[in-house]
Amino acid sequence: MLEQQIPEAEQWELACVGELVPSDHILRKVAKHVDFSFIREKTKDLYCLDNGRPGVDPVVLFKMLFIGYLFGIRSERRLVEEINVNLAYRWFLGFGLRTRVPNHSTLSQNRRRRFNGTTIYQEIFDEIVRQAIRANVVDGHIIYSDSTHIKAKANKHKVLIENMPASTKAYLGDLDKAVEEDRTRRGLKQLRPRKEVKPETRAIKVSTTDPESGYMMREGKPEGFFYLDHRSVDDKHNFITDVYVTAANLTDAEPYLTRLDRQQKAFGFDIHAVALDAGYLTTPICKGLEEKGIFAVIGHRRFHPTKGLFPKWKFHYDAETDTYACPNGKTLTYRTTNRKGFRLYRSNRADCRTCELRGECTRSKAMQKLIERHVWEDARDRVRENRLSDYGKQLYARRKETIERSFADGKELHGLRYARMKGLSKVTEQCLLSAAAQNIKKLALLLSRREKCLQMA
């Protein structure tokens, strides 16, 4: 029969907030298995101990931020509203039913005044990774890295064109040394030292609303102002082990080796293998990984040769004789090593003059074919062989289950698709906290599952 419900919402009841939170709620698992007390220790020097008004506990502040990233709440105003009415959020923060939730401006003012210019976000991210290491869910043996674009809060039509200095390559010193050794071994005189010249500049688009973002123009990618989140994940359970943010007009390869070194130093990783996409297929990276004793698998990068001419792979290199053989079987011999680190191999003019394939080989007026080979090309060839091995194919296939899935979860569930704030430091904060939230959720779920299995055993 039809019965009218008697409203009970306005009645007084004696209840405990903890009793009203479901026993299997994700925040219960996070609270049980993730220790946040270290935040208080790391931030104590940013607070005055004996002056001013009592501040909000920094552990509570960061827990509030983590709630926002865990549940995809992009606005801090909205976050405070949700905490006000959500019993699970209140319980996680240690609030009672009548506890006043800190104002959203408390979060923004702490960011602007107290935490600005500090490394607190990086330190918190690192400590979460260390907790995962201690729980034996991260081992650092196999690392996958990639980058994804984050839409900046900038109108792509409001731009200025500025000449900016080109970035200096960190490997130039090693390259000069390699060129010097190569020329000495071949009996060539040394090149003159590099002259101190003004750095090269390039004209780039700069946003008037967020000048620290970069204008991105990549094939298959949206065009506009973006940031790049360079991320590394561990193979064992897909934990994020490194986050580094740059403007989108920087290549993936430039910060890679530096960030790999940071992971080894910060967490003591013994990295055995890495798997990367084709954007990282540069000779310095191949050489750097080989020197570290790391098995590298890097995707194939397709090069488009001049239309109507043979591609470089048609010319076969013989390491024993240090020569190239053209498609017609003629030999290209070594001539010199230039300052850029390339060995030059030229064909015999007499062979080319009478060759029936010359039109498909070269359009040089001198009727000679020139092939360049980098002094570190052997390392690149070995990386190419790694990719074609059975183990290399298995590693590369895992990328879609590791780094690509990590980015997909971050964008779909944890607010990584769009920059919440302007400026490199603030976007870095967003990416670090978003990645830390992903790690926190994964750590809590894994340890809860492990605990349940132990109880059933």
Residue spans per domain, the chain:
17-118, 140-297+380-422, 312-374
Q: What does the pLDDT read at residue 226?
A: 95
190-204 pLDDT per residue, tens: 887 766 555 667 788
Q: How confident is the model at residue 35 (pLDDT cuts 50, 70, 90)?
A: very high
Note the pLDDT of residue 168: 62
How do 295-298 and 240-247 pair as beta strands? unpaired
Q: Which helix (H) or strand (E) holds 149?
A: strand 142-151
pLDDT exceeds cutoff 90 at 302 = no
| CA–CA gap between residue 92 and residue 168 (Å, rounded) | 47
Characterize the bridge pairing of strands 295-298 and 273-276: parallel
Tell me the angle at which helices 283-291 and 256-267 cross, rounded to the nearest 10 degrees: 20
pLDDT of residue 167: 64
All residues at 6 or more sequence positions from 456 whose CB lies less than 8 Å from its CB, including other chains = none
**pLDDT score of 2 more than 80:** no
pLDDT given for residue 38 in this prediction: 96
Q: Which whole number is the average pLDDT over 248-261?
A: 92
From 256, 259, 245, 254, select the one nearest 210 (Cα to Cα).
245
Identify the sign of the CA torsion 179, 183, 185, 186: positive
Query: Would you give the end-to-end CA distance of the chain in angstroms?
Result: 49
Give the range among 197-211, 219-233, 404-418 with minimum mean pLDDT.
197-211
pLDDT in tens, 46-100: 887 777 677 789 999 999 999 999 999 999 999 999 999 999 999 999 998 889 9
The confidence band for 305, taking pLDDT boundaries of 50, 70 and 90, is: confident
Percent of the chain with pLDDT over 90: 67
For position 200, what pLDDT does the model report? 66
The answer, yes or no, to whether residue 233 has pLDDT greater than 70, is yes
How much is the average pLDDT of 441-447?
97
pLDDT tier at 366 (50, 70, 90 boundaries)? Answer: confident
Q: How far apart are CA 213 and CA 115, in angstroms?
A: 21
**Residue 364's pLDDT is what?**
87
- In this model, does residue 269 exceed pLDDT 70? yes
Mean pLDDT on 411-423: 93
Angle at 360 between CA 355 and CA 361, to 5 degrees: 70
Mean pLDDT, all residues of the chain: 90
Radius of gyration of the chain (CA): 28
Instruction: Tell me what percent of the residues of the chain surpass a pLDDT of 70.
Output: 96
pLDDT band, residue 1 (cuts 50/70/90): low
Range name among 121-125, 215-219, 260-264, 296-300 with the lowest pLDDT average: 215-219
Which tens digit of pLDDT belongs to each residue from 126-156? 999 999 999 999 999 999 999 999 999 998 8
Q: Is the pLDDT of residue 303 over 80?
A: no
Query: Could you tell me the pLDDT band of residue 324, with boundaries at 50, 70 and 90?
Result: very high
